[in-house]
Structure 1
Amino acid sequence: MNGLTGKVIGVAADRSANALSSLIQKKGGTPAVFSIQGKQILNEQISQDNIRDFISKSFDWAIFTTGIGAQTLEDTSVKSEIYRDFIEKLNNTQVAIRGKKTLNWCQKNGVKASMLSDDGTMEHLVKTFSEEQIDLNYQRVFLQAYSQNDAKLKEKLEKAGCHVYLSQPYFYEEPNLQVLENLKEAIKTKSLDAVVFTSKTQVKNLVTNHHDNRETIQSFNNHVLAVAVGKVTANELKESGILYVLQPDRPKMGPMVAALERYYQKANSYNN
Structure 2
Amino acid sequence: MKKLEGKQVGVAAARSADAISSLIINNGGSPKVFSIQGEQLLNEEISRSNISELLSRPFDYVLLTTGIGAKTLEQAAEQLGLVPDFIDKLGHTKLAIRGSKTLKWLKQHSLTTSIEAEDGTMENLLNKLSEESNGGKQVFLQAYNEDDASLKGKLEELGYTVYLSKPYQYRNPDRETLNSLQKQITNRTLDAVIFTSKTQVQNLFLEGSTAQKELMEAFNEDVLAVAVGKVTAKRLESYGVSNVFQPTDPKMGRMVVELANFYDVKRNEASRP
* TM-score (norm. length: structure 1): 0.97
User: What CA distance in whole angstroms lies between the structure 1 residues aligned with 2:38 and 2:115?
Assistant: 31
Contact 1:208 1:240 in 2 (8 A): no
Q: Which amino acid aligns with 2:57?
A: K
Task: Identify the residue that residue 164 of structure 1 maps to in structure 2.
Answer: 162
How many Å apart are 1:161 and its aligned residue? 1.3
Q: Which amino acid aligns with 1:244?
A: N
How many Å apart are 1:129 and its aligned residue? 2.3
Task: Identify the residue that residue 92 of structure 1 maps to in structure 2.
Answer: 92
Aligned counterparts, 1:139-218, within 5 A = 139-212=137-210, 213-218=212-217
How many Å apart are 1:128 and its aligned residue? 1.6
User: What CA distance in whole angstroms lies between the structure 2 residues aligned with 1:128 and 1:210?
Assistant: 34
User: What CA distance in whole angstroms lies between the structure 2 residues aligned with 1:151 and 1:106?
Assistant: 25
Task: Identify the residue that residue 128 of structure 1 maps to in structure 2.
Answer: 128
Contact 1:63 1:143 in 2 (8 A): yes
Contact 2:12 2:195 in 1 (8 A): yes
How many Å apart are 1:233 and its aligned residue? 0.3
User: What CA distance in whole angstroms lies between the structure 1 residues aligned with 2:227 and 2:208?
Assistant: 20
Aligned residues: 270
User: What CA distance in whole angstroms lies between the structure 2 residues aligned with 1:244 and 1:18?
Assistant: 26
SS in 2 for 1:96: strand
Aligned counterparts, 1:223-262, within 5 A = 223-262=222-261
SS in 1 for 2:152: helix
Structure 2: gaps (5+ residues): none
Task: Identify the residue that residue 118 of structure 2 maps to in structure 1.
Answer: 118
User: What CA distance in whole angstroms lies between the structure 1 residues aligned with 2:132 and 2:197?
Assistant: 30
Contact 1:207 1:217 in 2 (8 A): no
How many Å apart are 1:150 and its aligned residue? 3.6
User: What CA distance in whole angstroms lies between the structure 2 residues aligned with 1:242 and 1:157?
Assistant: 28
Task: Identify the residue that residue 103 of structure 2 maps to in structure 1.
Answer: 103
Q: Which amino acid aligns with 1:187?
A: I
How many Å apart are 1:208 and its aligned residue? 4.8
Contact 2:184 2:190 in 1 (8 A): yes
Contact 1:196 1:227 in 2 (8 A): yes
SS in 2 for 1:63: strand
Q: Which amino acid aligns with 1:73?
A: L
Q: Which amino acid aligns with 1:175?
A: P
Greater alpha carbon shift after TM alignment, 76-85 vs 196-205: 76-85
Structure 2 residue 61 is matched with structure 1 residue 39? no
User: What CA distance in whole angstroms lies between the structure 2 residues aligned with 1:97 and 1:209?
Assistant: 29
Contact 2:133 2:160 in 1 (8 A): no
Greater alpha carbon shift after TM alignment, 74-83 vs 115-124: 74-83
User: What CA distance in whole angstroms lies between the structure 2 residues aligned with 1:26 and 1:210?
Assistant: 38
Task: Identify the residue that residue 29 of structure 1 maps to in structure 2.
Answer: 29
How many Å apart are 1:79 and its aligned residue? 2.0
RMSD: 1.0
How many Å apart are 1:136 and its aligned residue? 4.2
Task: Identify the residue that residue 19 of structure 2 maps to in structure 1.
Answer: 19
Structure 2 residue 56 is matched with structure 1 residue 56? yes
Residue by residue, what CA displacement relative to the aligned partner does 1:227-258 show, whole Å, maximum 9, x if unpaired? 00001000100111001100101111101101
Structure 1 residues 136 and 171: alpha-carbon distance in aligned structure 2, compared to 1, 3 A threshold = farther
Contact 1:37 1:201 in 2 (8 A): yes
% same residue = 49
* TM-score (norm. length: structure 2): 0.97
How many Å apart are 1:119 and its aligned residue? 0.1
User: What CA distance in whole angstroms lies between the structure 2 residues aligned with 1:80 and 1:211?
Assistant: 43
How many Å apart are 1:134 and its aligned residue? 1.2
SS in 2 for 1:41: strand
How many Å apart are 1:210 and its aligned residue? 3.9
